Amino acid sequence: MEQLIGLVNYLVFFAISAGIYAVLSLGLNLQWGVTGLFNIGIAGFYAVGAYASALVCGLPPSAWDGRMVGGFELPFVLGVLAAMLVTGALAVVIGVPTLRLRADYLGIATIGIAETVRLVLKNEAWLTNGVWGLQQIPSPLYSVIHRHTAAYISAHPGLPEWQRLLVSRAYNWFYFLLVGAVVIAVYFILKRLIRSPWGRVLRAIREDEDAAAMSGKNVFAFKLQSLVLGAMIMGIAGALYAHSARFISPASFEPLYGTFIVWVMLMVGGTGNNKGAMLGAVVVWGIWAATDFITGYLPWSASQVSALRIIAIGLLLEAVIVWRPKGILPEAKAKRRAP
Amino acid sequence: MKVEAWARIPQLLVYGLVSGSILSLGGIGVSLTYSILGFSNFAHGDVMALGAYLALALLPLMSAAGISSHPLGSLSFGLDFVAALVLASIGTCVVVLVLDRLLFRRLRGAGRITLMIASVGVALGLRNVVQFFWGPQPRYYSAKIQLATVIPGLGVRIKPDQIFIVAVAIGLAVLLHLFLRYAKMGKAMRATADNASLARVTGINTERVIAWTWIIGSSLAAAAGILIGIENKFVTPELGWQMLLPIFAAVILGGFGNPYGAVVGGIVVGVSEEVSTAFISTAYKPAVAFGILILMLLARPSGLLGRRG
């Protein structure tokens, strides 16, 4: 029984991570799947969202911190808003010089912004505490929920061990519901937007930019809006990560890997399909977590095994590109209205 | 402090020339792949790293084969290293040609962005293959400390190894120029870059052109990776990722798809990165490349030597 509860608790933890990746994947689906924007700097937006929210909601700098600013102890919702504002601004900065040019330039610029973000996180200790990162990031409603569960456990001393294990992790259940609510909200907002005339223009741009421009659409403005909105969604994911991990450092946001796994998720799930984006996040994160279990049985060192896992994810991506470019859930064909 | 910063500039120009010539070699490959195959190859940096590690692995075999490891002149390495450099470049070509056969060939008509995504996957794959075999720690090419010599009259220092790096880069760039200008295959490559379908109609075997593009690009990449190892004395699996941004900045600066532009762009980016260290923290060197890239995209997206339009 205890083992079963252990598994349940693990699954809740797994679902929180998968949910955060689903938000990232939905953001990328708006940019790439719907609009055809090539963003390979996802990790940069994710990191900026996490740091922005952590700095807005976190504790003021302590005496032994290298950090001088931030830590306003504001509510979680304001942290998420700050994450969206800062990532949106960052998207404007790289969108304006690149979105009038070929897709390659945006890709390269997003690598550049991700790399620059990483350098700033590492070196500007007055803001980010450098490589030591930000600690003790508050989780929303943690103290309230923790107080209640602790009171419940001490009021029921005869509680069976498995119930005690379950109740003591009640906060994770709450966070799981929170992440789930965000995923569902983002999904429905995107669904409405993509079906709206605005979304139709984005898809038209993806299919044929010149034709969209010929029909009088301001292609640049639409692309910029899509890039900014997608980046804001990635910022939300960053905030969700910061408040669940409660500790972030530059090492939490590996530039290529953080970006890459989200791409694999979207490609596996189905580019252009929001349900596919979410499914891909769960499937790929499941494969990733499952490979963690078998690594103990392999005759190689930890760094070799982690290299093998990334190679395996890379092979999965190439296999999808070659054999199933539309993913598990292909994008639905546009319905034709009767004339 | 300001005066000291300015006084360092002549020396930094020399360092910039050295790192710029390495960037130029890397940029040529990106430029050729772009103009012939039509996509930005994000795996190029990791191909460089692969070359650097292959040389490291081949080095002990060279002395076993009886090639002298006695230092050449005042260089820090011997003939065995030069042999390893050549063999590692060939080995890198073989790996890249196999990748083309297994992956890129299947995606010939798949569109630019699909190819770019595939190349990101290859980049991560190659980097982790390197990490699997050689580990994440730095691996050292040579433990020898080399004294810099002062160039008379200029008052700047340069190491013999650095002269070697610049000489190899110039030599390879000149060879490439002669190849593109006079060799039949070079002419076929330029024709394909100009207009692939027209080239095909005139009887040019585009698959052979593509194979040669990979061969030239990846052997220059391997050479560049090895030269980085000589300059830094060590290599890490992140080498390729770290070079990617400055190389793309160089290619865009020079004009995307123009190998001569890549050479000019490489020198400009290398020099700017080094000179920037007189004024801002060394940690921000890669961000300098990014800054140049953004400025160039705003001012003249077609690049210094690119055609407008």
Task: Report which residue type is found at B156.
Answer: V
What does the alpha-carbon distance between residue B189 and residue A33 come to, in Å, rounded to a whole number? 34
Q: pLDDT by residue (tens digit) across A179-202? A: 999 999 999 999 999 999 999 999
Q: pLDDT by residue (tens digit) across A283-302? A: 999 999 888 878 778 888 88
CB nearest to A40's CB, from B120, B132, B256: B120
pLDDT at A16: 96
pLDDT at A314: 93
Query: Hey, is B149 helix, strand or coil?
Result: strand
Residues 6+ apart with CB under 8 A from B36: B189, B192, B193, B196, B209, B210, B213
Q: With 80 as the cut, is the pLDDT of residue A178 above it? A: yes
Residues 6+ apart with CB under 8 A from B134: B53, B56, B57, B237
Q: pLDDT by residue (tens digit) across A78-130? A: 999 999 999 999 999 999 999 988 888 999 999 999 999 999 999 998 888 88
Structure tokens at A30: 């708006």
Q: With 60 as the cut, is the pLDDT of residue B271 above it? A: yes
Contact criterion met (CB below 8 Å) for A240 and A182: yes
* Interface with chain B: mutation pick from A321, A323, A324, A326, highest number of B CBs within 10 Å: A321
pLDDT at A153: 85
pLDDT at B17: 96
- pLDDT, mean over chain B: 91
Where residue A169 falls among pLDDT bands split at 50, 70, 90? Answer: confident
**Quick one: which of A36, A23, A94, A90 has its CA closest to A241?**
A23
Tell me if B241 and A314 make a contact (CB, 8 A cut-off).
no
Looking at A167-171, A253-257, B79-83, B168-172, which range is the least confident one?
A253-257
CB nearest to B290's CB, from A116, A267, A313: A116
Judged by phi (left if over 0) then psi (alpha if -120 to 50, else beta), residue B120 lies in alpha
The residue ranking higher by pLDDT, B70 or B46, is: B46
Q: Which of residues 207-226 of B touch A (CB under 8 A)?
A: none
What share of chain A in percent tops pLDDT 90? Answer: 63
pLDDT at A188: 97
Q: With 70 as the cut, is the pLDDT of residue A335 above it? A: no
Architecture, CATH, for domain B2-142+152-299: Orthogonal Bundle (1.10)
- pLDDT, mean over chain A: 90
Structure tokens at A234: 């990635």
Q: Which domains does chain A have, with CATH numbers?
A: 2-255 (1.10.3470)
End-to-end CA distance of chain B: 45
Contact criterion met (CB below 8 Å) for B75 and B160: yes
Q: With 50 as the cut, is the pLDDT of residue B308 above it? A: no
ipTM field: 0.89
Q: What are phi and psi of B143, to 5 degrees?
A: -95, 0
Q: With 90 as the cut, is the pLDDT of residue A143 above it? A: no
Q: Which residue has the tokens 């960053």?
A: A238
Contact criterion met (CB below 8 Å) for A218 and A204: no
**Quick one: which of A315, A197, A258, A36 has its CA closest to B118?**
A315
Q: With 60 as the cut, is the pLDDT of residue B212 above it? A: yes
Rounded to the nearest angstrom, the minimum Cα separation between B230 and chain A is 25
Q: With 80 as the cut, is the pLDDT of residue B116 above it? A: yes
Rounded to the nearest angstrom, the minimum Cα separation between B78 and chain A is 32
The residue ranking higher by pLDDT, B207 or A257, is: B207
Strands (E), chain B: 139-140, 149-151, 156-158, 234-235
Q: With 90 as the cut, is the pLDDT of residue A56 above it? A: yes
Q: With 80 as the cut, is the pLDDT of residue B177 above it? A: yes
Where residue A336 falls among pLDDT bands split at 50, 70, 90? Answer: low
Tell me if A314 and B124 make a contact (CB, 8 A cut-off).
yes
pLDDT at B3: 63
Task: Report which residue type is found at B152.
Answer: P
Q: How far is C-alpha B151 from the geometric centre of its chain's CA atoms?
A: 27
B-chain residues within 8 Å CB-CB of A41?
Answer: none
Q: What are phi and psi of B274, to 5 degrees?
A: -70, -45
| pTM of structure | 0.92
Where residue B309 falls among pLDDT bands split at 50, 70, 90? Answer: very low
Rounded to the nearest angstrom, the minimum Cα separation between B20 and chain A is 19
Where residue B307 falls among pLDDT bands split at 50, 70, 90? Answer: low
What does the alpha-carbon distance between residue B251 and residue B262 come to, in Å, rounded to a whole number? 5
Contact criterion met (CB below 8 Å) for A159 and A278: no
Q: pLDDT by residue (tens digit) across A228-268? A: 999 999 999 999 999 999 999 998 888 767 899 999 999 99
- If DSSP states are collapsed to H, E and C, what string results for chain A? CHHHHHHHHHHHHHHHHHHHHHHHHHHHHHHHHHCCCCCCCHHHHHHHHHHHHHHHHCCCCCCCCCCCCCCCCCCHHHHHHHHHHHHHHHHHHHHHHHCCCCHHHHHHHHHHHHHHHHHHHHHCHHHHCHHHCECCCCCCCHHHHHHHHHHHHHHCCCCCHHHHHHHHCHHHHHHHHHHHHHHHHHHHHHHHHHHCHHHHHHHHHHHCHHHHHHCCCCHHHHHHHHHHHHHHHHHHHHHHHHHHHCCECHHHCCHHHHHHHHHHHHHHHCCCCHHHHHHHHHHHHHHHHHHHHHHHHCCCCHHHHHHHHHHHHHHHHHHHHHHCCCCCCCCCCCCCCCC
Q: With 90 as the cut, is the pLDDT of residue B172 above it? A: yes
pLDDT at A201: 95
Which residue of chain A has the CA closest to B281? A123
Q: With 90 as the cut, is the pLDDT of residue B110 above it? A: no
Where residue B22 falls among pLDDT bands split at 50, 70, 90? Answer: very high
Rounded to the nearest angstrom, the minimum Cα separation between A255 and chain B is 9
Q: Cβ–Cβ contacts within 10 Å for residue A266, how many?
A: 28
Q: What is the mean pLDDT of residues A38-43?
A: 94
Query: Hey, is B126 helix, strand or coil?
Result: helix
Touching check for B113 and chain A: CB below 8 Å? yes
Q: Could you state, in order of their start, the residue ranges of all structural domains in chain B?
A: 2-142+152-299
Tell me if B252 and A308 make a contact (CB, 8 A cut-off).
no
Q: What is the mean pLDDT of residues B91-102?
A: 97
* Interface with chain B: mutation pick from A118, A318, A320, A326, highest number of B CBs within 10 Å: A318
